[in-house]
Amino acid sequence: MVNSDLVATGLIAAYTIYSLVAIGLFGWFAYRITKPTKTPVVKPVLFYSFTTLLVIIGVSLHLTTMHTIPWVKLEMDASKINPDRLIKMEVDSFKFYILTDSIRQELPVAEPIKIKEGETVMFDVYSKDLTYGFGLFRPNNTMVLQMQVLPLYSNKIIWEFNEKGTFTLRSTEFAGPKSTRMIIPNFITVE
C-alpha cells in the first residue's frame, strides 16, 4: 500500500494543475465575451469543446487516481479481509479505553501497542455516549487513518500498516471542549 502522505501530495499537485487550467479557461472566456470588440466573440463550439475536454480530463483524473488512495481497496474488500489482529476499544466520557480479554484499560497505557509491519489490523471502536473521531497520526502530524465513532454502534476500520513508526491517537471529531484533549501519544508502534 502506498503511503497516504505521498498520495496526498500527488493528488494536490494533479488537482491544482487541473483547477488552474479550468480557471484559466473560464477567465479567458469571461474576458473575451465582456471585451468590447468589433470582431466576433468566442464561438460557442470552441467554448463547449474546451469545457467538454476539461470534464473528460477531470473524470479521467479522478478514475485514474482513485485506486492510488490507500484505503479504497481495503474498504472495497473489507468484508473479504480476515485481519491479522483485532483491537477492540471503547470511548466514554472523553476517554479512550482498550479492551483486552474483556478487561477495560484506560489509555494511555505504559507500552504502545506493537504491530508488525505489513500486519492488517481491524479497529473496533464503541462509543458509550457521544460521537467521537478515531484518527492515527504520524509524528509530523499527517493523518494515517480516520473514522467517525458513532455512539452505541460498533465502528470498524481495517488498516494494513506498511510503514514503521510510532503513531498518535486523536479524536478527530469535536464532541465538546474536552474532546480537543483526547490525544494519546505513542499509541501504536509499527516495527
Cell matching residue 146? 480516520
Each residue of 115-151: pLDDT tens digit?
999 999 999 999 999 999 999 999 999 889 999 999 9
Instruction: Give residue 68's pLDDT.
Output: 75
Does the pLDDT at position 2 exceed 70? Answer: no
* DSSP structural state of residue 2: -
Distance from C-alpha of 27 to C-alpha of 137, rounded to nearest angstrom: 39
Length of the chain: 191
Cα-based torsion angle of the residue sequence 22, 28, 34, 35 in order, rounded to the nearest 10 degrees: 180
Distance from C-alpha of 2 to C-alpha of 10, rounded to nearest angstrom: 11
Pairing label, strands 95-100, 103-106: antiparallel
Instruction: Give residue 6's pLDDT.
Output: 78
Confidence bin at 169 (pLDDT 50/70/90)? very high
Each residue of 73-117: pLDDT tens digit?
777 888 888 999 999 999 999 999 999 988 999 998 889 999 999
Sorted by sequence, the CB contacts under 8 Å of residue 39 that are 6+ apart come out as none
Cα separation values, 134 from 12, 50, 55, 90, 146, Å: 24, 43, 35, 11, 5
Distance from C-alpha of 188 to C-alpha of 168, rounded to nearest angstrom: 7
Q: Tell me: cis bond preceding 177? Omega within 30 of 0 counts.
A: no
**In the block, which residue shows the cell 485481519?**
83
Once rounded to an integer, what is the mean pLDDT over residues 4-27? 87
Cell matching residue 89? 476499544
